[in-house]
Amino acid sequence: MGQPVSVIEKPTGRAGVLRFETNRNLTGMGHERYRVGTTVHGNRPPDVLARRLFERGGVATVHVYGGLITVELSEADESGIKEIIEDLFVYYRPGVEPAVTPSAG
């Protein structure tokens, strides 16, 4: 089922820039930067998060460092971004049949 990520939105001094703090370390000690229009390779948590945010639309850049996420918007609408981060590790949704692997018996 996975676990929801606890997310707190923090104020920034720049319009169109959102900052979030999570209870999960998504990158270790590395910085990860993503820009809209470039292919996001990999399946690590910051890669998946960046892809989901770009698929939502209205996002220009994503920067992830540890549990800090900074999102620069290309449009004024920030709705749904916090929820995308919170659902990063939720794998099964109501009405979705979980994958079952056959036993080796």
Domain chopping of the chain, boundaries: 7-86
CA-wise closest residue to 63 among 14, 100, 102, 2: 14
CA-wise closest residue to 46 among 77, 11, 89: 89
Distance CA 67, CA 86 (A): 12
**Confidence label for 2 from pLDDT (cuts 50, 70 and 90):** low
**Lookup: tokens for 62:** 């994503």
pLDDT at residue 100 is higher than 70: no
pLDDT tens, residue by residue, 7-29: 999 999 999 999 999 998 999 89
State if pTM tops 0.85.
no
- The pLDDT score that the predictor gives to residue 76 is 87
In this structure, CATH architecture of domain 7-86: 2-Layer Sandwich (3.30)
pLDDT at residue 70 is higher than 90: yes
